[in-house]
Structure 1
Amino acid sequence: MIVIGRGSVQQEECDVMGHMNVRHYVARVADALSWLLLEAGLPVPAQRLAVRDQHIRFLREMAPGTPFTILGGIIGAEAGRLRCFAEIRNSATDQPAATFVTDLGAFDDGPLPALPRAAALKVARPDHAAPRGLGFDPPRALPDRAASRAMGLAEAYRGAVRPHECDADGIMRPDGVIARVWDGVPNLRNRGTGLGVKEEGVGGAALEYRLVHLAPLRAGQLVTVTSGLRALGEKTTTWTHILHDGETGAPVAAAEAVGVAFDLKARKAIPIPPAQRAALEVLLVPGLGL
């Protein structure tokens, strides 16, 4: 792998749990993938390659001030998609903090541009980056907003795409999409779960994410997120989140996330407390998933 990014975690990139928030992992890797494409022979600016599908594993926390290096390479290309790999490593310990397997391609599923140096960047996905609690097969057809609500999914977010979240062409960056999911998650506690609330020393942390981008989101576009609980383990919850166009109700993106209840002092996962487990069991949606 080659170096495609470098930096350090800033205080404003961290959330109430005291570690780097998921949206900033995504933003940093999006920048790094542009460097990878440049090394592969795609000049800047060039034909747009958007994130179409992405699998993320969070392996270790990154606190404010943590230095990091992003390494990357190209796994392969197939059917108009370029599959890339990126790994964020703590520069002080050389331990991986997060891994990203990302499929890039045009939203119209057109052909990939020529990448004359891609072969020299070929890498294999390491075992620690493999899907664990989530799949990475092509997603199923997703329900529109009305169908999602009928299935029992709850509206977690309702808002709009802001111009500062968009690129030079007015299209929302990938970190804006995952930010919408994260922004809506605390509303789920209003359904009686209390899970992931920063109180009595207990919070929440993500272990794994899968994000599917179906259509570009543009500045000013209205968006909702509906969320449902797919699975419940001893320590983990798996939620499915679907982003819908505010005007038409059509699905435009989706995410799945495996999270844990998190002891904020010991900085480790803990079993889901019995009262919260009972509340969560009521929220399970049969057949839900990407």
Structure 2
Amino acid sequence: MSDGVEVWSGGVNTWECDEMGHLNVRFWGAKAQEGLAGLAAQLGMPRAFAADGEATVIVREQHIRFLREAHAGAALSMTGGVVEMGETDARLILVIRHPDGRPAATFQLVVEHVTSKEMRPFAWSAPIRERAAGLMTKVPDFAAARSIDLSPVTSTASLQRALGLDLKRIGLGVIGPAECDVFGRMRPEIFIGRVSDGVGRLFGETRPGPASLAEDEPQPRIGGAVLEYRVLHLAWPEAGDGVELRSGFAGCDARTRRVIHWMVDPQSGRPWASAEAVVISFDLDKRKVVDISQAAQEVYRAASPKGLAL
């Protein structure tokens, strides 16, 4: 078993950080996609993400864990490896680390080997399988699913069902050319990036925090962060395609809330992507997770539609 091979190295730009003061999920995802290209090159597909490439890999599913913040100016590096490989698909692991070696974020990616233009699946070649054998690795404990079930699932997302569940619209727009890859398809990080842009409409202006403090205690500044994501990529919008995001709560406890996000085509109603997220309230000064009050928990449970899932 390998520990993985370095597939990317870089850092955090100020403009990649959000109002919470740390690297935004969109840019964690963008760096992971660069790492995926680096891992594809290690597997013998150096042109997998080039316009003239005849074969590529598309991301069918992502499991993401955010373990430690990264702030503007931080240096990061990434290793990648192969967890398992099927006839045309594979499960890959990417680990982003701080310079001291501590993991910052992990991405388990279920990918499929396809023709670049038609996205027709076809078998991995013998040379790729040979290279993959030297990159086989286990999912480290810190990257394993913690609060999200990774069992096979069929998405229930659609605009019609979103309307029936009264899910809140948190985004509406059109995919632009700059949001697409060289093949003209929406890049994977755009989905969670657009969720991040619109999630304030779901949570409101203030994030829930602890029960009321004493009058002489300063009220903490409360923000929010995601701990874990499961993302299903169901279809790939192109430049000019409409996208609508509908979201709702799916339960909570004292520390976390579970949220479901669906990206759908506002015209046809078909789903583009679906995600389950585990989110926290976050003390912006202490940079620590905070419990939310019992009253806030009850509000979230009451607002969680029955049957809402990926």
Which segment is superposed worse, 101-110 or 122-131? 101-110
Alpha-carbon offset, residue 82 of structure 1 = 1.4
CA distance in structure 1 between the aligned counterparts of 2:208 and 2:189, rounded to whole angstroms? 21
Q: One-letter code of the match for 1:80?
A: T
The 5-angstrom pairing of residues 105-124 of structure 1 reads 105=112, 106=114, 110-114=121-125, 115=128, 116-124=130-138
Q: In the alignment, which residue of structure 1 is the partner of 2:175?
A: 161
Q: In the alignment, which residue of structure 2 is the partner of 1:33?
A: 36
CA RMSD, 1 decimal: 1.9
2:82 equivalent among 74, 84, 89: 74
Q: One-letter code of the match for 2:250?
A: R
CA distance in structure 1 between the aligned counterparts of 2:12 and 2:176, rounded to whole angstroms? 24
Q: What are structure 2's unaligned runs of at least 5 residues?
A: 210-218
Alpha-carbon offset, residue 253 of structure 1 = 0.5
- Equivalent residues of 2:254, 2:294 under 8 A apart: no
- Equivalent residues of 1:52, 1:213 under 8 A apart: yes
Which segment is superposed worse, 139-148 or 69-78? 139-148
Q: In the alignment, which residue of structure 2 is the partner of 1:180?
A: 194
Q: One-letter code of the match for 2:66?
A: F
- Equivalent residues of 2:37, 2:46 under 8 A apart: no
1:52 equivalent among 43, 53, 60: 60
Q: In the alignment, which residue of structure 2 is the partner of 1:245?
A: 265
CA distance in structure 1 between the aligned counterparts of 2:120 and 2:308, rounded to whole angstroms? 26
Q: In the alignment, which residue of structure 2 is the partner of 1:11?
A: 14
- Equivalent residues of 1:144, 1:244 under 8 A apart: yes
Which segment is superposed worse, 223-232 or 266-275? 266-275
CA distance in structure 2 between the aligned counterparts of 1:274 and 1:76, rounded to whole angstroms? 43
CA distance in structure 1 between the aligned counterparts of 2:272 and 2:88, rounded to whole angstroms? 19
Secondary structure at 2:206 match in 1 = coil
Q: In the alignment, which residue of structure 2 is the partner of 1:288?
A: 308
Query: Do structure 1's residue 255 and structure 2's residue 275 form an aligned pair?
Result: yes
Query: Do structure 1's residue 23 and structure 2's residue 23 form an aligned pair?
Result: no
- CA gap of 1:39–1:242, structure 2 versus 1, over 3 A, is same
Equivalenced residue count is 286
- Equivalent residues of 1:40, 1:117 under 8 A apart: yes
Task: Give identity over the alignment, percent.
Answer: 35
Alpha-carbon offset, residue 218 of structure 1 = 0.5
Give the TM-score normalised by the residue count of structure 1. Answer: 0.93
- CA gap of 1:8–1:108, structure 2 versus 1, over 3 A, is closer
Alpha-carbon offset, residue 25 of structure 1 = 0.6
Q: In the alignment, which residue of structure 2 is the partner of 1:83?
A: 91
Query: Do structure 1's residue 194 and structure 2's residue 202 form an aligned pair?
Result: no
Alpha-carbon offset, residue 80 of structure 1 = 2.5
Alpha-carbon offset, residue 278 of structure 1 = 3.8
Alpha-carbon offset, residue 275 of structure 1 = 4.8
Q: In the alignment, which residue of structure 1 is the partner of 2:69?
A: 61
The structure with the largest alpha-carbon Rg is 2
Q: In the alignment, which residue of structure 2 is the partner of 1:270?
A: 290
Alpha-carbon offset, residue 196 of structure 1 = 6.8
Alpha-carbon offset, residue 195 of structure 1 = 2.4
After superposition, give the CA deviation of every residue in 1:212-252 in whole Å (9 maximum; x if it has no partner).
10111101110001111112011100101111012200111
Secondary structure at 1:242 match in 2 = strand
- CA gap of 1:275–1:196, structure 2 versus 1, over 3 A, is closer
CA distance in structure 1 between the aligned counterparts of 2:15 and 2:123, rounded to whole angstroms? 36
Query: Do structure 1's residue 146 and structure 2's residue 160 form an aligned pair?
Result: yes
- Equivalent residues of 2:87, 2:124 under 8 A apart: no
- Equivalent residues of 2:7, 2:78 under 8 A apart: yes
Q: One-letter code of the match for 1:247?
A: Q
Q: In the alignment, which residue of structure 2 is the partner of 1:102?
A: 109
CA distance in structure 1 between the aligned counterparts of 2:287 and 2:192, rounded to whole angstroms? 23
Which segment is superposed worse, 109-118 or 279-288? 109-118
Q: One-letter code of the match for 1:117?
A: R
Which segment is superposed worse, 51-60 or 153-162? 153-162
CA distance in structure 1 between the aligned counterparts of 2:28 and 2:271, rounded to whole angstroms? 24
- CA gap of 1:20–1:145, structure 2 versus 1, over 3 A, is same
- CA gap of 1:86–1:95, structure 2 versus 1, over 3 A, is same
Alpha-carbon offset, residue 161 of structure 1 = 0.6
Secondary structure at 1:121 match in 2 = coil
CA distance in structure 1 between the aligned counterparts of 2:200 and 2:280, rounded to whole angstroms? 14
Alpha-carbon offset, residue 287 of structure 1 = 2.0
CA distance in structure 2 between the aligned counterparts of 1:18 and 1:99, rounded to whole angstroms? 20
